[in-house]
Structure 1
Amino acid sequence: MRNVQHGPVITVVTDIASPPEDVWRELTDFAGYAEWHPALRFVAVPAEILPGTRLRAQVSSGTENDGEYVFTVLHYEAPRRFVWEGGIPDVLMGKHSFILEPRADGTRYTESEEFTGTAAVATVEPARSQMEEDYASYGRALRERLGSGR
């Protein structure tokens, strides 16, 4: 068993005026990300998503981290929680989670990523404020997408 040191965490909360089932449907329509997500495009999405499923995605956020990534689904509990992990083992790994909490006026959507590995602090901390703004923009884009009548 590896000794994994926990590193920085980026977390952003967005309130969305749609029920969790609608948010979940949009969040897990991987082919549809190209229509609303500003930086993520999924490639060759499997028909069924289960823990262990591998998702290939193209990240284009205008930074040196742009490129193709493979994410492994760790948790998939509709319409509440979805977690994937990807990166370079022992160097920089990200465990990305999406939590949907029902509220009287819709859904509280929490997007969070915990970084581990030898390069986690050196890579994430200098970019923390930009990453927080990027993640907030993803939540806003999802909220706007759901408000578009889809």
Structure 2
Amino acid sequence: MSTIYTSIDIAATPKRIWETLIDFGAYTEWNPFILTASGAAAEGERLHFNIRPPNGRELSFRPRVTAVVPGQRLEWVGRLGVRGVFDGRHEFRIEPLEDGLTRLHHSETFPGVLVGVLLHEGSIRSGFRAMNTALKERVERKPAAPNSVNGSTAGA
């Protein structure tokens, strides 16, 4: 069994981070690791992802959501082929800190008989870090200032 763990501190509320994590349809706008995503963040639901680890090939898989605690935790389990051969338990935990910061814990545990052969830990860890950084940039971005004054467009 192998576990890949990453974390990042984000200057945003847990609610804002959570909303971004479960908006699977928007992943194409910001996520460099999970290229496309669909499904619902509800226990028992089946998701559909296309991922591309850095320097890796694109993979498609359909994990099942196994835990949802809104604003705190999201977990799914996916597998390649038959159960027990190459499985992955993916988890996001959101931890509020002081001073307006929130820590995102992002990990995956891989049990299975072919993990030692098929798992490229460095590439997956790099993909997680890239996703974490992109999430941080997305949720920390301030909304664009309006181009209007008292309801009229400036310069019109």
Question: 1:87-131: CA deviations, max 9, x gaps?
Answer: 13121000000000001132100000000111112222xx22232
Matched with 1:4 is none
Structure 2 residue ranges without an equivalent (≥5): 144-156
Q: Secondary structure at the match of 2:8?
A: strand
TM-score, length of structure 1 as denominator length: 0.86
8 A contact 2:12–2:139 mirrored in 1: yes
Q: How does 1:25-44 map to 2 (within 5 A)?
A: 25-40=19-34, 41-43=36-38
Does residue 85 of structure 1 match 2:80? Answer: no
8 A contact 2:48–2:63 mirrored in 1: yes
Q: Secondary structure at the match of 1:38?
A: coil
Matched with 2:59 is 67
8 A contact 2:32–2:127 mirrored in 1: no
**Which AA in structure 2 matches 1:114?**
T
TM-score, length of structure 2 as denominator length: 0.82
Q: Secondary structure at the match of 1:91?
A: coil
Does residue 55 of structure 1 match 2:50? Answer: no
Q: Aligned equivalents of 1:84 and 1:141: distance in 2?
A: 21
How much does 1:137 deviate?
1.1
Q: Secondary structure at the match of 1:146?
A: helix
Q: Aligned equivalents of 1:77 and 1:118: distance in 2?
A: 30
Question: 1:15-60: CA deviations, max 9, x gaps?
Answer: 00001000000011010111110021114x34xx321000011123
Matched with 2:130 is 137
How much does 1:147 deviate?
1.8
Structure 1 residue ranges without an equivalent (≥5): 1-6
Matched with 2:88 is 94
Q: Aligned equivalents of 1:50 and 1:18: distance in 2?
A: 23
Matched with 1:146 is 139
Q: Aligned equivalents of 1:14 and 1:63: distance in 2?
A: 23
Q: Secondary structure at the match of 2:121?
A: helix
**Which AA in structure 2 matches 1:128?**
E
Larger Rg: 2
Q: Aligned equivalents of 2:59 and 2:122: distance in 1?
A: 21
% identical aligned pairs = 26
* Cα root mean square deviation, aligned: 1.4
**Which AA in structure 2 matches 1:60?**
R
